[in-house]
Amino acid sequence: MSAVEAAVPAVAAAPSRAGTGRFLRSELDMVFRRRRNQVILAVLAAVPILIAVAVRLAAPPEDPADGPPFLYGIAGNGVFVALTALTVVLPLFLPLAVSVVSGDAVAGEASLGTLRYLLVVPVSRTRMLLVKYVAAVAYCVVAALTVGAVGAGIGALLFPVGPVTLLSGAQVPLGAGLVRVGLVALYVAAMMAGLAAIGLFVSTLTESPIAAMATTAVLAVTSQVLDSVPQLDWLHPWLFSHYWLDYGDLLRDPIAVDGPARGLLVTAAYGLVFGSLAWSRMTTRDVSS
Amino acid sequence: MTTVAAPAAAAPAPAAVAAPAVTTSGLAKRFRGGQLAVAGVDLHVPHGSVYGFLGPNGSGKTTTIRMLLGLVAPTAGTHTLLGRPMPASAAEVLPRVGALVEGPAFHPHLSGQRNLARLDAADRTADPATARVRIGTALDRVGLSAAAGKRYRAYSLGMRQRLGIAAALLQPRDLLVLDEPTNGLDPQGTREVRALVCALAADGVTVLLSSHLLSEVEQVCTHVGVMHVGKLVAQGTLDSLRQGRAPRVSVETADPAAAIRALAAQGLSDVDTDGRVVSALLGTAAPEGVLAGLVRAGVPVRQFTLDAPALEDVFVSLTGEGFDVSG
C-alpha cells in the first residue's frame, strides 16, 4: 500500500524540473542557432576587430580626449581594444541586438502561430515568459562577452599587452586587468537585460515581431536622447539608459561599487516592472493568432 | 466468494474514466469589438465518440475550440475537458489532449523532426528518453518519415497538415481536437486522415473533429454538433439527427397518375411527381406494404426506393443559407 502511495507523487513531480530544463535548452537552441542572431553576433564581434585594425594602420590620436574613451590607450596596451569596443557598441549596436532577440521572443511565436501550439502542449504562460526572458538575458551576456573577448584577443594579436593602468592611475597585472574587462562586459550585459525586459513586454503586445523589435530599439534610443538634454536633468536618474556607461568605477583600484550598484538597482527595478507588465499582459491575453 | 470482491473494488475506475470528454455550459465569447462570436454553447462530447463539429466558416467553431483549450478566455460560461474543470486543470488535462487548431504552425527554418522535438521539449510530462522514438512513430503514422529532415519551409500544404497531426500524436492521448484536419490534403491524404481517425477512435480515443464539410465527417462520426452564427443549433448522434427528417418513398413508373392515386389511397401525404417519378412522405406506413399496395392497384412499378433523409438536407435546413460564410 505505502509503496503505491509513494509512487504516485513521485511520478507526478519527477518530470517537472527536467521538463523546464529541456524547454530552456530548446529555447537557447532556437535563439543561438537562428541564423539572424548569429549574424548579429558576428557584426558585434567585427566592431573590436575594426577598431583594432584602424588604430594599427593609422597613427594613434595625439590628444587623449580625441575619439571614444580608452581609444588612446590601445597602442600601449591591446586590452583597451575590448573596453573601447564595449563602449562603442553600447549606445546603438548592442541595444539593437537585444531589441531583435527580446522583441521577437513572444511576437515571433505569435506571428508564426506556434504560440498557440506551445500553450496547448501545455506550457504555462508564466513558464514561457520566464524561459523566453532567461534566453534573452543569455543572449545579452554572450553578446557582451563576445565583444570583450574578441576585443582582448585582437588587441593581444596586434598590440603589446601587459599590466593594465586603471582609471585611478594604479597598475594591475594583466590577469587582474582582464578580470576587470570581464566585469565591465557583465555590467553591460546586465544593463541590456533591463532593456530585454522592456522588449519582452513590448513583444507580448503585438503579433508583429518587427514592430516589437523596432519599438524596443526606439525606446532605447529615446531614453538616450532624453538623457542628453540638460533641461531634463530631473528626469535623467529615472532613465534606464542613464547608467549604461557607469562602469568606470569597476576600473578603479580598489573597485568602487556605488555607481555600478545604482545602475544595477535601477535596471533591476525596470526588469521587475516590465517583467510584471509582460506577465499581466501575457496571462490575460486571448491568443487568437 | 472472496474472489468476487476484487473486481467489485476495481469497478469505480472505469466509471470515472467515462466522464464526457468535453462539456460546456453557456460558453460565450464576445470580442473586444463587440462581436458575439460564440453565443451560449452547450457542447456534450461523450467519452469514446467521434464528434463532428460542423458549421459554416465563421460560425464560431474555431473560437469555441480555442476556448476549450484555454487559448481564449470565455466571456461567460464554463467547460470541462476529460471531466476536469478548465482552465483551472489545464496543466494536468492538456497533456492528455492532442490538438490541431486552425491549421498547422511551425518554425519554417527547422525540420519537421526538430519542430516536433521543440514541442516535445516544452512538455513537462514527456519523457526525454523516449522522445526520439515517439517523434519517429508520430511522423511515421502520418506518412512523413521520408521528409522528417526537410525544413518545414519546403513542406507542401498537405505535408504541413500532416506534421500538425503528428504533433497531436506525440503522446498517447485521451482526446484529440482536430480543427479542419483535411484542409489542403489531396483525396488520398483525406482518406488516410479518415482511416487514422477511425483507428484512433477504435483505440478508445475521443475525437472532436471540426469541419465545414459535412461529407468529411459523415463517414467517421458517431455524433454531430452543428454551429450556426455562434449558436449550437443541433447536437446528437447521427441517427437522431437523421430522424429529424421524415423518410420518403419514390416510385418510378410508366403511369404516374395511377401511382399518385394508389399512394394517396394508402394515406401517404405530400405526394409529388417529377415526370415518371412519384414520391410521397412515408409517415408511419411500412414501405413493403406501400409497394404491395401499388402492385395490387396495377401500377407498373419499374423502381421503388426508400429515400433515407440525406444528412446534407438536414444541415441545410439547420444552417439556412447552407455552408457558406456566415456572420
Q: How far is CA A217 from CA A14, A195, A223, B179, B287, in A?
A: 41, 9, 10, 38, 78
**pTM as predicted:** 0.85
Asked if A283 is an interface residue toward chain B (Cβ–Cβ < 8 A), one would say no
The b/e string for B15-45 (b: 16+ C-beta within 10 A; e otherwise) is eeeeebbbbbeebbbeeeeeebbbbebebbb
Q: How far apart are CA A61 and CA A82, in angstroms?
A: 18
Cell 489531396, located at residue: B186
| Contact of A118 with A231, CB cutoff 8 Å | no
Looking at every residue in chain B, the average pLDDT score rounds to 85
**Per-residue pLDDT reduced to its tens digit, A42-58:** 999 999 999 999 998 98
Does B122 contact A112 at a Cβ distance shorter than 8 Å? Answer: no
pLDDT score recorded for residue B151: 96
SS in 3 state form for B200-224? HHHCCCEEEEEECCHHHHHCCCCEE
Does A117 contact B73 at a Cβ distance shorter than 8 Å? Answer: no
Q: How far apart are CA B204 and CA B199, in angstroms?
A: 9
Does B105 contact A112 at a Cβ distance shorter than 8 Å? Answer: yes
Element (H, E) at A156: helix A125-158
Does B124 contact A26 at a Cβ distance shorter than 8 Å? Answer: no
The b/e string for A50-59 (b: 16+ C-beta within 10 A; e otherwise) is ebbeebbeee
Angle formed at CA B204 by CA B202 and CA B207, multiple of 5 degrees: 90
pLDDT reading at A105 higher than 50: yes
| Contact of B235 with B20, CB cutoff 8 Å | no
Q: Is the peptide bond before A254 cis (omega within 30 degrees of 0)?
A: yes
Q: How far apart are CA A170 and CA A153, in angstroms?
A: 23
| Contact of B22 with B174, CB cutoff 8 Å | no
Which residues is B51 bridged to in the sheet?
B208, B223
Q: A225: which 3 cell numbers?
A: 536622447
Q: A288: which 3 cell numbers?
A: 487568437
| Contact of A80 with A74, CB cutoff 8 Å | yes
Neighbouring residues of B277: CB distance < 8 A, sequence distance ≥ 6: B250, B251, B252, B256
Asked if A36 is an interface residue toward chain B (Cβ–Cβ < 8 A), one would say no
Q: A17: which 3 cell numbers?
A: 524540473
Q: A184: which 3 cell numbers?
A: 565591465
Measured N-to-C along each axis, helices A174-205 and A258-282 cross at an angle, to the nearest 10 degrees, of 30
User: How much is the average pLDDT of B232-257?
Assistant: 82
pLDDT score recorded for residue A7: 34
pLDDT reading at A23 higher than 90: yes
- A119 interaction partners in chain B (CB closer than 8 Å): 69-71
Does A30 contact B107 at a Cβ distance shorter than 8 Å? Answer: yes
pLDDT reading at B54 higher than 70: yes
- A135 interaction partners in chain B (CB closer than 8 Å): none
Q: In percent, how much of chain B has pLDDT > 90?
A: 44
Shortest alpha-carbon distance between residue A20 and chain B (Å)? 7
Q: How far apart are CA A107 and CA A113, in angstroms?
A: 10
Q: In which band, very low, low, confident or very high, does the pLDDT at A153 lie, cut at 50, 70 and 90?
A: very high
User: B63, B124, B176: which to substitute to probe chain A, counting the most A Cβ within 10 Å?
Assistant: B124
**Per-residue pLDDT reduced to its tens digit, B259-311:** 888 888 888 878 888 878 888 887 777 888 888 888 888 888 888 888 766 67
HSE value, Cβ hemisphere, 13 Å, CA-based, for B22: 32
Domain locations along chain B: 18-242, 248-308
CATH of the domain spanning B18-242: 3.40.50.300
**B11 versus B247: which is more confidently predicted?**
B247
- A129 interaction partners in chain B (CB closer than 8 Å): none
Q: In which band, very low, low, confident or very high, does the pLDDT at B149 lie, cut at 50, 70 and 90?
A: very high
Cell 469555441, located at residue: B64
Q: How far is CA B111 from the centre of its chain?
A: 31
pLDDT score recorded for residue B323: 46
Element (H, E) at A18: helix A2-33
pLDDT score recorded for residue B212: 82
| Contact of B180 with B104, CB cutoff 8 Å | no
pLDDT score recorded for residue B281: 81
HSE value, Cβ hemisphere, 13 Å, CA-based, for A28: 13
Asked if A21 is an interface residue toward chain B (Cβ–Cβ < 8 A), one would say no
Angle formed at CA B173 by CA B52 and CA B115, multiple of 5 degrees: 100
How many residues appear in chain B?
A: 327
pLDDT score recorded for residue A67: 72
The amino acid at residue B248 is R
Q: A106: which 3 cell numbers?
A: 513572444
pLDDT score recorded for residue B321: 55
> B176: nearest CA in chain A?
A120
| Contact of B209 with B51, CB cutoff 8 Å | yes
pLDDT reading at B87 higher than 50: yes
Looking at every residue in chain A, the average pLDDT score rounds to 89
Asked if A121 is an interface residue toward chain B (Cβ–Cβ < 8 A), one would say yes
Reported ipTM: the value is 0.86
- B70 interaction partners in chain A (CB closer than 8 Å): 119-120, 122
pLDDT score recorded for residue A87: 94
Q: How far is CA A254 from the centre of its chain?
A: 26
Which residues is B97 bridged to in the sheet?
B175
Phi, psi at residue A246, to the nearest 5°?
A: -80, 40
Low-confidence winner among B21-30, B39-48, B73-82, B308-317 (lowest mean pLDDT): B308-317
Q: How far apart are CA B63 and CA B102, in angstroms?
A: 10
- For domain B248-308, the question of CATH label 3.30.70 is answered with yes
Instruction: Out of A35, A116, A121, name the one closest to residue B122 (CB).
Output: A121
